[in-house]
Amino acid sequence: MVAVMKHWMVCGLTEIGGDDQHTAGRRLLRRLLAAEGLDAGQAIALKDGKPFLTPHSTEGSAPAISIAHSAHLAAAAICRIGLVGIDLELHNSTRNFAGIAETYFGPQEAAQVTAGGMRAFYRIWTLREAIGKATGEGLLTDRRDRIINAAPYTGAWVSDDRQWLLAHIEPRAGISLALAIQPDKDTDTSRWSLDAIQWPVGLAMPAISKP
């Protein structure tokens, strides 16, 4: 019998410690697989830079996965309802937020950065990165608006075009973590919320940071 994930979405965040970023991310992913009752020993392969599981069994389909790291932290996500991307960024106040937004973001997103500064920039940057990781496109440089809504800063919502389930939180002050799921057609998107994301292993999630 093929094991099935218990939850829609599981994530983990961990200190990298003595590991390198690559090892820490994969170790965390395997801990998440074990927590969900899945095969933690199945191979993790790459295609065009995007990781995916290659189960020993050919029955059923493997859940989607994503890994991210920034500074001293690594994050991982497993999703059974569609493609998933996770991104993690340490806020850096010396970056040229307006210049980067004008170069890479859509016009409405750039306007949000102008109005909201660093925190608005990292919300949009990580969400765009998460979408690019889910699709395999990588960094989105098309200057097309993807994250049109300016609120909430922290929370979970369905994109205006109904194509994405999105979430952004600050698991620690000055760190943005974003999730993007491209849900399967039969997914009940009304169930999407921060409570739909489980954090069974790794660092405990504090109360969500407010703007």
Confidence (pLDDT) at 211: 42
Average pLDDT of the chain to the nearest whole number: 88
Confidence (pLDDT) at 134: 94
Give CA angle at 203 (201, 206), nearest 5°. 120
Strand order of the β-sheet with 73-79 is: 64-70, 73-79, 9-15, 197-202
166-177 pLDDT, tens per residue? Answer: 999 999 999 999
* Ranges 26-30, 41-45, 64-68, 136-140: which has the least confidence: 136-140
Confidence (pLDDT) at 4: 58
Confidence (pLDDT) at 137: 83
Q: Are 54 and 45 in contact (CB under 8 A)?
A: yes
Taking residues 190-199, what's their average pLDDT? 93
89-145 pLDDT, tens per residue? Answer: 999 999 999 999 999 999 999 999 999 999 999 999 999 999 999 998 877 777 777
80-90 pLDDT, tens per residue? Answer: 999 999 999 99
The pLDDT > 90 percentage for the chain reads 66
Give CA angle at 46 (61, 170), nearest 5°. 85
- Beta strand 197-202 with 175-183 is unpaired
Number of H helices, E strands in the chain: 3, 10
Tokens of 89: 């960024």
